[in-house]
Amino acid sequence: MAFNQAKASELEDCFDPEIVLYTQHGEFRGRKQVMRYLNEQYFKDAKDLHFQMSPHDIRGFGDALWYSYDFTMDKGSEHRAGHGVAMCRRQEGKWRILNMHNALLEPASESNTGRHP
């Protein structure tokens, strides 16, 4: 919800201070870099921004957990779909995202679907 409404300060609190975010645009380390990336890439023109995530394979181990997910993101006429994995840790009773790795799905084409002419 915070992402869709470009609520940067609310979203920032979801990230561990030592977060590492991997995207198609590069690697971003720490809250400051991650938030700068999100602000520049998505929030500066947040009109019609919509992100949806479907988590699966959630596993917890004490104060750590990881999950994989599929996502879609629409920003204006641009549509992206992908998948990823995230790791979270609990400190002082609060869960925060420590590591996130996103990958875009390639559009299906004849060359990679296994179909032959």
| Among 78, 79, 99, 97, residue whose Cα is nearest residue 23 | 99
| Lowest-confidence segment of 11-15, 40-44, 61-65, 107-111 by average pLDDT | 107-111
Which residues have C-beta within 8 Å of that of residue 2, sequence separation ≥ 6? 10, 11, 14
Protein fold of 12-106:
Nuclear Transport Factor 2; Chain: A, (3.10.450)
Q: Residue 98 is which amino acid?
A: L
pLDDT of amino acid 66: 96
Q: pLDDT (tens digit, 9 = 90+) per residue, 48-68?
A: 888 999 999 999 999 999 999
Is the pTM higher than 0.85? The answer reads no
Distance CA 77, CA 109 (A): 21
Q: pLDDT (tens digit, 9 = 90+) per residue, 18-29?
A: 999 999 999 999
Band the pLDDT of 115: cuts 50, 70, 90: very low
Q: Is the pLDDT of residue 110 over 60?
A: no
Report the length, in residues, of the chain.
Answer: 117
What torsion do the CA atoms of 94, 96, 98, 104 make, to the nearest 10 degrees?
Answer: 160
Distance CA 23, CA 45 (A): 19
DSSP string, 68-112: EEEEEEEETTEEEEEEEEEEEEEETTEEEEEEEEEEEPPPP-GGG
On average, the pLDDT of the chain sits at 88
Phi and psi (nearest 5°) for 65? Answer: -150, 155
